[in-house]
Each structure stands twice: as structure tokens, then as C-alpha cells.
Homo-oligomer: A and B are copies of this chain.
Amino acid sequence: MIYRDIIKITTKTDGFHDLTKQVGEIVGKSGAKDGLCNIFLQGTTASLAINENDRMLIEDFKKTLTALIPDDHLYQHSENAPSHLRAAMLNQNLTIPISKGKLMLGKWQSVLLFEFDTQDREREIVVTVQGV
């Protein structure tokens, strides 16, 4: 069985969203008890990651990626090269197992979206459930 839904959100520069609840609801609607859930972000300047949703840690994520890929550096791609490069350090696609109709996330795991672009964006996150 394949079930699909798309999460649409408006992000702000340097923004952060926790998608765990929305993805879990899609898994619930799919009716799948056992299988896999694929989460795919249709963008090149934002990222998905599975990590702890702690406000302090989220700040550490942003600062660390800015330290590794600084703004005040000469890039060849115009405008938002650091946004692309930071996005590539994390992921645009995740696959999470499903058991008993729920995502098999660990105790501290959340599905996180980081916006790295220099302007507000409309983001679409494609959620595909394959299961039984």
C-alpha cells in the first residue's frame, strides 16, 4: 500500500519547524500498521534532520552551520550560496520505520526542518507511506 500527503509550511529566514506531529498524523491516516515512511523536502536551501527538539540545541545547530559555512566569505553562486551549502550538510530525505501504526522514533528523536534561505519560503514536504 502506498499513501501520500504533502505538508505545506511557510518558513522564515533562519527558521525552524518540528514536523513530528504532522508526519505522525499522516502515518495514522494511511492506516499502515507496519512499513516505512519517507519524508522528502522539495528544496535546496532547507534541510530535514532527525534530532532532539531542544531550543538551546536548535540554536547550536544554526550557529555551528554558520561557523562551518560563514556568510562573510566569497562564494561564486550569487545571492544564497551558504544557504545551499548548509542545507547539503544535513538531509533532504529521511526514511523512518513504522510499527503498530506509529513512527519508530527513539525517545529523543524529532523530525526537524531547518530553513537556511535568505528569504521567507513556501515549503512542501512530501510524505510517502509504504506498508501493510
Interface residues of A (CB under 8 A from B): 2, 4, 34-36, 38, 40-44, 49-52, 54, 56-57, 59-61, 64, 68-69, 75-78, 81, 84-85, 87-97, 99, 104-109, 124, 126, 128, 130-132
Say whether B88 contacts A90, CB under 8 Å.
yes
- Do most interface residues of chain A lie in helix, strand or loop, or is the interface mixed? mixed
Say whether A92 contacts B50, CB under 8 Å.
yes
Residues of B within 8 A of A91 (CB): 91
With A4-B99, A38-B97, A44-B52 known to touch, is A59 a contact of B88 (CB < 8 Å)? no
Say whether A130 contacts B84, CB under 8 Å.
no
Say whether A96 contacts B40, CB under 8 Å.
yes
